[in-house]
Structure 1
Amino acid sequence: MEHGVLVPPVYSPIPPAIHSRHELINQQTADWARSFGIGSRELREKLIGHEIGTFAARILPDGDEEVVSLLADFILWLFGVDDGHCEEGKLGTDPKELVPELSRLLRIAQNPEVAMLTEDSLAAGLRDLRHRMDQHATPGQLARWVDALREYFLSVVWEASHRSKGTVPDLNDYTLMRLYDGATSVVMPLLEMGYGYELQPNERDSTSVRAAAEMAYFIITWDNDLFSHHKESRGHQYYLNVLRVLEHHHGLSPADALDTAVAQRDRVMCLFLRLRAHLTASGSPQLRQYLESLTCFIRGAQDWGISSHRYTTPEDPADLPTTFRDTPTDDSTEPLDIPAVAWWWDVVPENSAPVLPQRGQNRAGDTALGVPHLPTTNRVAAAGRRRRTCA
C-alpha cells in the first residue's frame, strides 16, 4: 500500500473526559517502567514518551486513582510484551518459541509466587501488577483477567504465524482475532475495579452485553488501525491491519480501503449507541456504569490515538486528524458482511434509538453520562486495603 493515505476525522459523538490527576499518573507510570526495567532502554523510553498514563486517565476519568495508575502500568506492560516480544522482537515471527514464553508469563499472572522467569523484567513487572490487583479485585475479576490475558496471548501467537509466513489474513479471521489481539478485553476487569463494583454474571455474560463489549473492541481496534497505518505501513512486516486486509483480499485501492474501514467502524458505532441506550434503560446501576466505561474507553482511545507520539510519529509525521466529525459516513442498520460479528445486529431491537452520550458533573456527584456513583458500601475493597505496592 502506498504511504499517501490521509486519515480523515472519524465519527465520535462521545464527549472527551480525563482524570484530574492524569499528569501525576503519567509520571508514576514512567517511574514504574524505569523501576522494573520494562523492555530495552530504547523501547522503555519510547513507551514512556507515548503518555500511556494519560490514556488510562481517559479510560477511567472518575475512577479510583490507584486503579487508574494500575491500568496505566498494565497498558505499558502490554506494549512492552507486544513491541518487545511480538511486533519488533524475534519471537514475533516464531510462534513455536513465543507460545512457551507467553505461557510462562500467564502462569505468573495466575500465581505470582511461582519460581519462574526470576531474572526477567517483564515477569517482575507482571508480578507487581498482580499483587496490586489483589488489593482491588474480587476472585472472579482476577479469574476473568487471567482468562482475557490467555485470549490475548493466543491471538498474538496467531499474529506471529502470519508474520512467519508473510501472509495476510482474510477479513473474517482478521475481525475475529482483532477482538483479542488489540488487548482490549484484558482491560474489562479493571473497568469494574476502577469504580469498586463487580458486574453480576447474569448481566455481564448475557448475549447483548457481550455484544456491546465486542462492539467497543471493534471500534477501538479499527480506529487503531486507521491511526497506526502510517507507522505500520513503513515496517517490514505489514500484514496485520484492516486496510492491508481490504486491499489484499478485496482488491481495493488504498483510498477505497480507507473509506470502507471508516464506514465499517461508523456503522458499528451507530449500533453500539443504540444498544447502549437499550441496555441502559433497563440495566442495574452497575451495568450502566459498565456501559459508561465502555463508552469512555472508546473515546479515550480516540483522543490518545490522534495525539500520542506512538502514532503521530514526530520523526516522520503521520498527519493524523486533530478533530472528530459528529455525523457518520455510514449509518445503515444492515449487518456488516462479516460472519464473525454479523450476529451483533440480532441483539439490538429494531425500534431502539441511540441516545448521544453526555458528560455529567465530573467528580461532583455524577459520573460520565449522568450515571450516579455507586454507594461506598458497594466498593470491593475497604479504604485500608488501598495501597500501591510498587517495588
Structure 2
Amino acid sequence: MRTFAVSALREPPFPSRQHDATGRVAQESTEWALDQGLISNGHRLHRLRRADAAGLAGRACPEGPVDGLRLLADLISWLFVVDDACDEDGLGDSPTRLAPTVAALLDVLDGREGRTDGPGAAAGPLGAALGDLCRRARAAGGPVALLRFVGDVREYLLALLWEAANREHGRVPGLAEYVQMRRHTGAVHPSFTLTELATGALPDAAQRTEPSLVALDLLAADLVCWCNDVFSYGKEHLGQPDAHNLVAVIAAGRTDGDQSSALRAAADRFNEALSAYLATEAALLATGDDGVRSALTARRNWIRATYDWSLRAARYA
C-alpha cells in the first residue's frame, strides 16, 4: 500500500523536519504511558512502540520547548491506546460497550475525575492519563487553552460512539457524512491545539472564527485524515475490514464496489484538497498577521508530518 500511496498521492510541498529532542521524548512518553497504566510490558507496549507517537509529534512540532513536544507526544500516545482499544481490542464494537468508558472520560473533561460518586470514578488509566493531559494543557496555556482542548477531545469521544454504532449495525456511512465525522474520529483538532500551544502560536478567538482560516483548518484536517486512510487501507482491509476509511466508503458508494478505483479516487480527493489548501493558504499569507502565519505553519507541519510518518511507521507495515 505504501508503494501505491507514494505513486498516487502528491507529496506535500512543505519542508520535512523533525525536533532534535524526538528520541528523548520517545523514551519519556513510553515511560509516561507505563506509569499511567495505559500499557504494560508485552503486546501493548510493543504495539505502542511500533506506532511511534513521538516520531509523529516530532515531525508535527519540529521546534519549540521540549515540554510542549512531550505534551503532544503523550496526547498522541493516549490516542493510539484508545484507538487500538476500540479497533483491535473490541471496545468500539458497540455503543453500549463503549458508552461507560466515554461517560467516564467526559467526567474527567468536566473536571470531576476526583469524585467517587460519578462515572469519572470508573475512568481508570485512560481517565487518569487524560486528566494529566488536561492539567498540563492548563499549566501551559491557561484556561483558554484548556477549554479549547477539552472541547476538541469531547468531540473526538462522541465521534467514537458514532463509529461504534456503525460497527454494531454493519453500516457504511455516506461520503459526506464520513468526511465530516472523520475530522473528529481522527482527533486532528486536539492535536492541532497542542501543537499550537507547544509553539506559542495559539490563535485568539477572532482569528479562529475568521472564515478563511476555518476553511483552511478543515482542509488541513481532511488532508491529515485522508493521507492516513490511504496509507492504512491495506492493513485495515487485510485484517478486520472496517468501513471507517475513505477508500472503503468510496468503494461502498460505487455500483461495482471496485477497490482499485476507490483507491485512485481517494488519492485524487487528497490531491485536489492539497491544491485547494495551497490556494487558500496563499491568500491568507498575503493578508494575515503573524498569529495567522504561525497557525498556518502548524498545519503545514502536520500535513507533512503525517505523510512522512506514514512512510516509515511500522503501524501500517
Counterpart secondary structure, 2:64: coil
- Of 272, 277, 291, the residue aligned with 1:272 is 277
Partner of 2:266: 261
Alpha-carbon contact 1:59-1:296 (below 8 Å) kept: yes
C-alpha distance 287-228 of structure 1, shift in aligned 2 (>3 A): same
Q: Deviations over 1:97-142 (max 9, x none)?
A: 3223212112213314334336711122112222222220221121
Task: Please tell me the residue identity of whatever aligns with 2:13.
Answer: P
- Of 232, 239, 244, the residue aligned with 2:236 is 232
> Equivalents in 2 of 1:74, 1:219: separation in Å?
20
From the two aligned structures, give the one with the greater helix fraction.
2
Instruction: Determine whether 1:46 maps to 2:44.
Output: no
Alpha-carbon contact 2:51-2:80 (below 8 Å) kept: no
Partner of 1:77: 78
**TM-score for both structures, normalised by structure 1:** 0.75
- Bigger drift between 123-132 and 282-291 goes to 123-132
Counterpart secondary structure, 1:138: helix
Counterpart secondary structure, 1:78: helix
Counterpart secondary structure, 1:223: helix
Counterpart secondary structure, 1:302: helix
Gap runs ≥5 in structure 2: none
Q: Deviations over 1:231-251 (max 9, x none)?
A: 100223422111111111113
Gap runs ≥5 in structure 1: 313-391
Alpha-carbon contact 2:30-2:49 (below 8 Å) kept: yes
Alpha-carbon contact 2:72-2:195 (below 8 Å) kept: no
Identity, % of aligned pairs?
Answer: 30
Q: What value does the CA root-mean-square deviation take over the aligned residues? A: 1.9
Give the drift of 1:4: 11
Task: Please tell me the residue identity of whatever aligns with 1:240.
Answer: H
Alignment of 1:264-303 (within 5 A): 264-303=269-308
Q: What number of residue pairs does the alignment pair up?
A: 309
Counterpart secondary structure, 1:163: helix
**TM-score for both structures, normalised by structure 2:** 0.92
Q: Deviations over 1:268-327 (max 9, x none)?
A: 101111111111221121110010110001101111111001012xxxxxxxxxxxxxxx
Partner of 1:304: 309
Give the drift of 1:197: 4.0
Alpha-carbon contact 2:137-2:145 (below 8 Å) kept: no
Partner of 1:366: none
C-alpha distance 39-162 of structure 1, shift in aligned 2 (>3 A): farther
C-alpha distance 119-271 of structure 1, shift in aligned 2 (>3 A): closer
Counterpart secondary structure, 1:93: coil
> Equivalents in 2 of 1:277, 1:216: separation in Å?
14
Alpha-carbon contact 2:192-2:298 (below 8 Å) kept: no
> Equivalents in 1 of 2:47, 2:202: separation in Å?
35
Counterpart secondary structure, 2:309: helix
Alpha-carbon contact 1:5-1:255 (below 8 Å) kept: no
Give the drift of 1:147: 0.9
Partner of 2:216: 212
Partner of 1:120: 124
Instruction: Determine whether 1:154 maps to 2:139.
Output: no
- Of 142, 149, 160, the residue aligned with 1:145 is 149
Task: Please tell me the residue identity of whatever aligns with 2:297.
Answer: E
> Equivalents in 2 of 1:280, 1:196: separation in Å?
19
- Of 130, 134, 153, the residue aligned with 1:130 is 134
> Equivalents in 2 of 1:8, 1:119: separation in Å?
40
